[in-house]
Chain A
Amino acid sequence: MNTPAARPQRSHGSGPRPPSLGGNLWTLLALLVLLGLSAGSALLELGVFNTVANLGIAVAKALLVLTIFMRLKTDNALLRIVASAGFAWLAVMIALALADVLTRAPLLAPW
Chain B
Amino acid sequence: MNARLHPVPEQFDDPVQQREAATLGMWAFLATEILFFGVLFAGYTLCRVRFPDAFAAGSRHTDMLLGTIETAVLLTSSCAVALSVREVQLGGRQLATALLGITAALGASFLVMHGFEYYAEYREGLIPAVHWTQQGVYAKGMEIFYCLYYFITLFHSLHVSIGVVLLIVMAWRTWHRAYDARYHTPLELTALYWHLVDIVWIFVYPLIYLVGRAG
- Write the residues of chain A forming the contact surface with B, with a CB cutoff of 8 angstroms: 1-3, 5, 7, 9-15, 18-19, 21, 24-25, 27-28, 31-32, 35, 38-39, 42-46, 50-51, 54-55, 57-58, 61-62, 65-66, 68-70, 75-76, 78-79, 82-83, 85-87, 89-90, 93-94, 97-98, 101-102
Q: Is the CB of B8 within 8 A of A2?
A: yes
**Whole-angstrom distance between the Cβ of A60 and the nearest chain B Cβ:** 9
Within the complex, which residue of A27, A54, A70 is in contact with B192, where a contact is CB–CB below 8 Å? A70
| Bound form: Cα–Cα A58–B46 in Å | 19
Is B202 part of the contact surface with A, judged by Cβ < 8 Å? yes
Q: Is the CB of B75 within 8 A of A86?
A: no
Known contacts A9-B13, A12-B16, A98-B46; A58 and B24 CB within 8 A of each other: no
Instruction: Please report which residues of chain B, range 48-85, place their CB below 8 angstroms from some CB of chain A when the two chains form the complex.
Output: 49-50, 64, 68, 71-72, 75-76, 78-79, 81-83, 85
Return 23 A-B CB contacts under 8 Å, by A number: A9-B13, A14-B15, A15-B19, A15-B89, A18-B86, A24-B82, A31-B79, A35-B72, A35-B75, A39-B210, A42-B206, A44-B214, A58-B206, A69-B79, A76-B23, A76-B24, A79-B23, A82-B31, A85-B31, A86-B33, A89-B38, A90-B41, A94-B38
| Bound form: Cα–Cα A9–B14 in Å | 5
Q: Which residues of A contact B35 (CB under 8 A)?
A: 86, 89-90, 93
Q: Is the CB of B182 within 8 A of A14?
A: yes
Q: Which residues of A contact B16 (CB under 8 A)?
A: 10, 12, 14
Known: A24-B82, A83-B30. 4 other contacts (CB 8 A): A28-B75, A70-B192, A70-B195, A87-B34
**Whole-angstrom distance between the Cβ of B184 and the nearest chain A Cβ:** 7
Chain B contact patch, size range: 35 or more
Across the interface, name the chain B residue whose C-beta is closest to A87: B34
- Write the residues of chain B forming the contact surface with A, with a CB cutoff of 8 angstroms: 7-8, 10, 13-20, 23-24, 27-28, 30-35, 38-39, 41-42, 45-46, 49-50, 64, 68, 71-72, 75-76, 78-79, 81-83, 85-86, 89-90, 181-185, 188, 191-192, 195-196, 198-199, 202-203, 205-207, 210-211, 213-215
- Interface residues of A, dominant DSSP: helix
Q: Which residues of B contact A83 (CB under 8 A)?
A: 27, 30-31
Q: Which 4 A-B pairs have the closest CB atoms?
A: A86-B31, A54-B206, A86-B34, A42-B210
